[in-house]
Structures are given as C-alpha cells and as structure tokens.
Structure 1
Amino acid sequence: MKIILAGYMGSGKSVVGQELSGKMDLKFLDLDAEIRKQENLTIAEIFAEKGEIYFRRKEARVLEYLLEQEESFILALGGGTPCYGKNLQLIKNSAGATLIYLKTGLLQLKQRLLSEREHRPLIKDLGSPEVLEDFIRKHLFERTFYYNQSDLIISTDDKSVLEITSEIVDKLN
C-alpha cells in the first residue's frame, strides 16, 4: 500500500502524513526531504543554485524511485509534483498507490502561507498579502485539473489534523 498525499503548498500534506503514519503504522516519507537528502541542499538552495527545471527533474527521478519500492509507505508530495512531466501518470500507474488530494481553500492557504514565505522558494519574494493571494489563485486554477484526478479528495478547511486523518482512514477501509 502506498498512500500519496497531494495538494497545494500549505494544505497540510506533511503534518497529515505524519499523523496518518502513526495511525496506520506505515513509514512516512516527504518527497522534498528525500530530495534534500540526495542533494545535500535545502529546496530553496536547489531553486537558487540550480533552478526550478533542475529541481523538477530531480523530483521526478526521486518520485519514480520511491514508487518502485516494494515497501508500503505514506508519501507527501510537493505542491507541484503531480502537475509536472509524467509524475501524475507514474503515481496513477503505480501498483497499490492511492492518490489523495488534500483540498484547501484559497483563504486558508493564504493565511497559512503568509507566515511561511521565507521557507518557500516559490513565494518568498511575494510582497503583499494581495499578491500572495493572486499567486495562489492562479496556481490553484492551473493545478486543480491535476489534483482532481486523485483517487480521494478530502476537504481540509476548518478541520483538525485528527479529523482529516480519521476521514482518510475511514475512506480507505
């Protein structure tokens, strides 16, 4: 069993994945953390030093490697992972994989991301809350097509991590 969590940055993929890992007794992996380990750089450093195209290629290779593993796990994707190259098809064709979209509304994403900007390379230079909101809105418009191809869609707005993970476990059983 491979549970793959997708959603926009700030949707809670990592925190939900960690909680789900404990509930289901499955190993938790974070795609960005796996990339950081291999590159020995932060994601922000990879973007700054090598560029987004390099990052997306590396992301695809690491994703493919993880999906080829026999062991079961929970994997938090990066926000853009399913939207680039053949990543979505790799996930959909992976035996035993269930893709879950953590659907989070624009205003909730904006609130969460305002305080996290300096740690997120795609938004660190966005000046005002209005510019950030426009950026998120544009990305959600572009990415929703990919996210909506998930096996399960879980709305996260106004729900605790425990409520979200319980809903996922219920729907998987």
Structure 2
Amino acid sequence: MLQSPPIPLDPPPVYRGQPIVLVGLMGAGKSTVGRRLAGRLGLPFVDADIEIERAAGMTIADIFSRFGEPYFRDGERRVIQRLIDGRPKVIATGGGAFVNDATRALILSEALAIWLDAPVEVLAERVRRRDTRPLLRGKDPLAVLRELAAVRNPLYALAPIRVPSANAPHDTTVRAIMEVLKR
C-alpha cells in the first residue's frame, strides 16, 4: 500500500521566513537532516556543497587538490552569499563554512543558524563510510575531527540554536529542531 508523503506543517511561530542554515562538523547530518527538515516545513532544500560543485564544474575534492583549501573557502563564501537571498529555504553548509568570518556574519545576520552538534566519536564512525572528504584523505578521522572540533565548536556555538545530532535516526534530529523552533 502506497503512503502519501507527509503534509508539511505550518511553519513554527519562531520561524519568520528567513533561510534556515545548518552548520556543524562533517558527518553531523546537515544534508540528510536538512532535506527532511525542509520537507516538514514545506520549504526548498539546498546543499551548499552541491551548489559549489555546480559553480566550479568539478568536485570539492578536485577543487581542494587543484587549488587548495583557501580557494575553496572563497568560492564557498560566494556561493553561500548567493544562497542567502532572503527567501525561505533550508541550506546545508559544509563543515568549514561557518568558520569563515564573513560567511558566519552573513548567516548570523540574514538567516537562522542551527548547529547540529554530535560527539566526535559518532562523527568519525559516520565519515568512515565515505572517503570523499578532502580533509580526511589518508588521515585518521577521529584525530582530524578532534582537531577540527577544538577549533570549530566554539564558533558553531555562536549559532542561536544548538541541536544534538547523536547516534539516533535523522528524523529524531528533525523532530528536535521542530520542537526548538516551536518554542
């Protein structure tokens, strides 16, 4: 028996139509949670990493290897600036996007930032499943994630909303976000 897709809920009262931007370390579930959250809210979903690849005409791994991380971060900033256009949507960012001062300032002033926070051990287990992440090439994911968390978590903490993204189904994280938005 086919089930019809869930009917989007009315936007929660705290939500005022600005873009919702998910931030957090790699493996936090930004893309999957973002897609599902957008469906619940009846909003479009945009994955910033996919938009970066479209704009560059190559994969993020290729951008990193050919031009380096600073070049990638500049392109990432420009793409996110284009995506945050005042229209309601859910945007999943790459793990380093919120670290850039200009990108973070834009997100904090023009969007609703939500930090998907997960323990590095959970993140390491998740990212081990895919070897496409340039910052992990040939390195121990747990060690890299610990280093990144030490630098990035204080910046992610600037997001007005923090939602745990532990070892639970993504729908659990989506429900937690919906609850926070309703308060």
TM-score surpassing 0.5?
Answer: yes
Task: Give the match for residue 68 of structure 2.
Answer: 51
Within the candidate set 162, 166, 170, 2:175 is matched to: 166
| Number of the residue aligned with 1:114 | 128
| Residue of structure 2 equivalent to 1:144 | 153
Count of aligned positions: 165
Runs of 4+ in 1 over 2 A off after TM superposition: none
Match of 1:134 in 2: 143
Mapped to 2, the partners of 1:87 and 1:71 lie a distance apart of 17
Among candidates 10, 16, 20, match of residue 37 of structure 2: 20
Q: Using the TM superposition, give the Cα deviation of residue 159 of structure 1 relative to its aligned residue in structure 2, in angstroms.
A: 2.2
Q: What's 2:13 paired with?
A: none
Match of residue 136 from structure 2? 123
Q: 2:88 aligns with which of 47, 61, 72?
A: 72
Deviation of residue 133 (structure 1)? 1.4
Consecutive unaligned residues of structure 1, counting only runs of 5 or more, are none
In 2, the alpha carbon distance for the partners of 1:149 and 1:14 equals 20
Partner secondary structure for residue 5 of structure 1: strand
Corresponding position: 1:37 with 2:46: no
3-state SS of the aligned residue for 1:102? strand
- Is contact 2:29–2:116 with CA below 8 Å preserved after alignment? yes
- Structure 2: 5+ residue stretches without partners: 1-17
**Structure 1 residue 132: Cα displacement:** 2.3
Of 84, 98, 117, the residue aligned with 2:112 is 98
Query: SS where residue 64 of structure 1 aligns?
Result: helix
Identity %: 31
Cα deviations by residue, 1:21-71 (Å, 9 ceiling, x for unpaired): 11111000011111111111000011111111110111111111111x232
**Structure-1 separation of matches of 2:88 and 2:63:** 28
CA distance in 2, matches of 1:160, 1:18: 14
Task: State how far apart, in whole Å, the 2-side matches of 1:46 and 1:4 are.
Answer: 23
Q: CA separation in 2, counterparts of 1:93 and 1:162?
A: 28
* Alpha-carbon distance between aligned partners in 2 of 1:57 and 1:13, rounded to the nearest angstrom: 21
Q: What TM-score do the two structures reach when normalised by structure 1?
A: 0.92
Alignment root-mean-square deviation, CA: 1.0
Q: Per the alignment, in what secondary structure is the counterpart of residue 150 of structure 1?
A: coil
Partner SS for 2:168: coil
How many angstroms apart in 1 are the aligned matches of 2:144 and 2:63?
Answer: 21
- Residue 101 of structure 2 aligns to a residue whose secondary structure is coil
- Please tell me whether residue 11 in structure 1 is matched to residue 24 in structure 2: no
- Alignment TM-score, normalising by the size of structure 2: 0.87
